[in-house]
């Protein structure tokens, strides 16, 4: 039986990690870590049919002794703080943050695509960005048949990508607007601590789109947009891949969607692409215009599959294919992918 810890166990991704471990019946001695304010809370879990209560422990440098693996569901600054104590304790750290994704010494892994890369780890393995995972799942089968040279992508990212407060913000703003009330400074209140206020977004999200996720870089793309190129290059071993990406926050509760146009090395027709996708692990082809069936956030919410559809020969690139994909960014885009990396070891 492995000894497993989850760092950041009380957040949306941490809780989903627990759920994935339960669903996949991973036999483990489980420890849960979070911040000091969450320490002492009790979480009920069901490990391989055995129900138990686990007390949340405050994460400290000394917390990880005896563990074999730690799944990280914390922000990058905390991942950096705890990475060394985790590795020094002899555990493998599977980190969901962006702290180590572009570190040459750290594998960046989507198991279906480059699972073999876990063998290169020196104690840390990175989980990619949620939109990158969903996009790469949709295209990796195509890349095996015809190498991808360039991509133009637009992401339509759900508010849950901003965490619990993002979901609360959308709920509260819609409630205000439904009563013909002005939204008070786009602020939300934490339902567990009524005196706490946080700006989930700098602009109204209800009935709106926000074409900026992350901070701006020197080239006027955002950090979130550059991840699509940089991470995909590393995951798919395509060092020369060129990507233009625009990331948009949309008033959808859960599941990210991405429009992808690819220039391929050799031409593939639509029927060939559909056949590839039908046989791609982790992907479901949903493309029936007569029945109005397309990939959509509602149909992928709380599922691990990535839906792909709207397959077209592109009108700009000579060997181009355009598609649309959707996936639950809390599950396959984060927690499930991390647990699948764990499964590669056990």
CB within 8 A of 219, min separation 6: which ones? Answer: none
Q: Do 123 and 249 reside in the same domain of the chain?
A: no
Instruction: Looking at the structure, tell me whether residues 76 and 140 fall in a common domain.
Output: no
> How many Å is the Cα radius of gyration of the chain?
20
Looking at the structure, tell me whether residues 139 and 210 fall in a common domain. yes
Residue 169 in any domain: the answer is: no
Query: Quick one: tokens of 311?
Result: 């397959």
122 and 36 both lie in a single domain:
yes
- Per residue, the 3-state secondary structure of 117-170, as one string, reads HHHHCCCEEECCCHHHHHHHHHHHHHHHHCCEEEEEEEEEECHHHHCHHHHHHH
Select from 24, 62, 22, 67 the least CA-distant residue to 45: 22
> What are the backbone dihedrals phi and psi of residue 93, each rounded to the nearest 5 degrees, phi first?
-100, 115
Number of domains forming the structure of the chain? 2
Residue showing tokens 């992401």: 155
Beta strands 187-190 and 283-285, pairing class: unpaired
Is 214 inside any structural domain? yes
User: Which pLDDT score, from 0 to 100, does residue 201 have?
Assistant: 87
CATH at 230: 3.30.360.10
Exposure string of 142-177, with b = 16+ CB inside 10 Å and e = fewer, is: bbeebbbbebbbbbbbbbbbbbbbbbbbbebbeebe
Task: Collect all residues with Cβ–Cβ distance below 8 Å to 171 and sequence separation of at least 6.
Answer: none
| Confidence (pLDDT) at 176 | 87
Q: What is the mean pLDDT of each run of 10 residues along the chain (346 residues)?
A: 96 94 95 94 91 95 97 96 97 97 97 97 97 98 98 97 88 88 61 49 92 95 96 97 98 97 97 97 96 97 97 96 97 97 96
Residue 146 falls inside a structural domain = yes
Catalytic residue list = 130, 256
Boundaries of domain holding 91: 2-128+335-345
Predicted pLDDT of residue 195: 40
CB distance 251 to 205 below 8 Å: yes
DSSP state of 214: S
- Of 119, 98, 97, 99, give the one whose Cα is nearest residue 107: 119
Tell me if 254 sits within 8 A of 161, measured CB to CB. Answer: no
84 and 143 fall within a common domain: no
Write phi, then psi, for 228 (nearest 5 degrees): -60, -40
Domain assignment present for 7: yes
Is there a single domain that holds both residue 18 and residue 81? yes
Same domain membership, residue 257 and residue 111: no
Helices 336-345 and 12-23: angle between axes, nearest 10 degrees: 50
- CA geometry: angle 68, 74, 80, nearest 5 deg: 75
**Domain assignment of residue 170, yes or no:** no
Q: Round the average pLDDT of the chain to a whole number and report it.
A: 93
pLDDT in the model for residue 197: 42
- Backbone angles phi and psi of 214, in degrees to 5: 90, -175
Residues 116, 70: Cα–Cα separation, whole Å: 20
* pLDDT score recorded for residue 199: 62
**What is the per-residue pLDDT for 48?**
85
Q: Is residue 185 part of a domain?
A: no
247 and 311 fall within a common domain: yes
Answer yes or no: do 157 and 113 share one domain.
no
> What is the pairing mode between strands 306-313 and 320-327?
antiparallel
262, 294: one domain: yes
State residue 187's pLDDT score: 53
| Residue 192 placed within a domain | no
Residues 161-183 pLDDT 10s: 988 889 988 998 999 888 887 77
Collapsed DSSP state (helix, strand, coil) of residue 65: coil
Residues 85, 156: one domain?
no
pLDDT digit string, tens, across residues 143-155: 999 999 999 999 9
* Residues 206, 235: Cα–Cα separation, whole Å: 34
- Which CATH number is 55's domain given? 3.40.50.720
Q: What token pair was written down for 261?
A: 């146009």
* In the block, residue with structure tokens 């992928």: 300
Whether 146 and 114 map to the same domain: the answer is no
pLDDT at 182: 76
Question: Does the residue 157 lie in any domain?
Answer: yes
Backbone angle region of 294, left / alpha / beta, with phi > 0 → left and psi within -120 to 50 → alpha: beta
The size of the chain, in residues, is 346
Residue 170: predicted pLDDT: 92
What is the structure's pLDDT at 86?
Answer: 98
């Amino acid at each position: 039986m492995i000894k497993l810890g989850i760092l950041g166990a009380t957040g949306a991704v941490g809780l989903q990690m627990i759920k994935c471990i339960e669903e996949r019946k991973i036999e483990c001695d489980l420890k849960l870590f979070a911040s000091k304010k969450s320490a002492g809370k009790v979480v009920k879990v069901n490990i391989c049919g055995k129900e138990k209560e686990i007390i949340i422990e405050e994460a400290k440098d000394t917390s990880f002794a005896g563990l074999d693996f730690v799944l990280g569901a914390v922000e990058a600054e905390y991942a950096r703080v705890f990475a060394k104590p985790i590795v020094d304790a002899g555990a493998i750290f599977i980190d969901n943050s962006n702290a180590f994704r572009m570190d040459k010494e750290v594998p960046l892994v989507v198991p279906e695509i480059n699972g073999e890369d876990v063998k290169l780890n020196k104690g840390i393995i990175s989980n990619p960005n949620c939109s990158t995972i969903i996009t790469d799942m949709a295209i990796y089968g195509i890349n095996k048949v015809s190498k991808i040279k360039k991509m133009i992508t637009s992401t339509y990212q759900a508010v849950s990508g901003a965490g619990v407060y993002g979901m609360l913000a959308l709920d509260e703003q819609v409630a205000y607007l439904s009563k013909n009330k002005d939204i008070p400074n786009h602020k939300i209140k934490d339902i567990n601590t009524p005196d706490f206020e946080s700006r989930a977004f700098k602009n109204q999200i209800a009935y709106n789109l926000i074409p900026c996720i992350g901070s701006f870089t020197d080239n006027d793309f955002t950090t979130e947009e550059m991840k699509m190129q940089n991470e995909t290059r590393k995951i798919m071993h395509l060092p020369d891949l060129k990507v233009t990406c625009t990331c948009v926050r949309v008033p959808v509760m859960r599941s990210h969607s991405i429009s992808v146009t690819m220039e391929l090395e050799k031409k593939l027709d639509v029927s060939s692409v559909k056949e590839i996708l039908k046989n791609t692990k982790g992907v479901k082809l949903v493309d029936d215009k007569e029945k109005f069936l397309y990939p959509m956030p509602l149909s992928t919410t709380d599922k691990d599959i990535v839906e792909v559809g709207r397959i077209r020969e592109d009108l700009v690139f000579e060997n181009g294919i355009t598609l649309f994909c959707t996936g639950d960014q809390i599950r396959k885009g984060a927690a499930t992918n991390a647990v699948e990396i764990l499964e590669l070891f056990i």
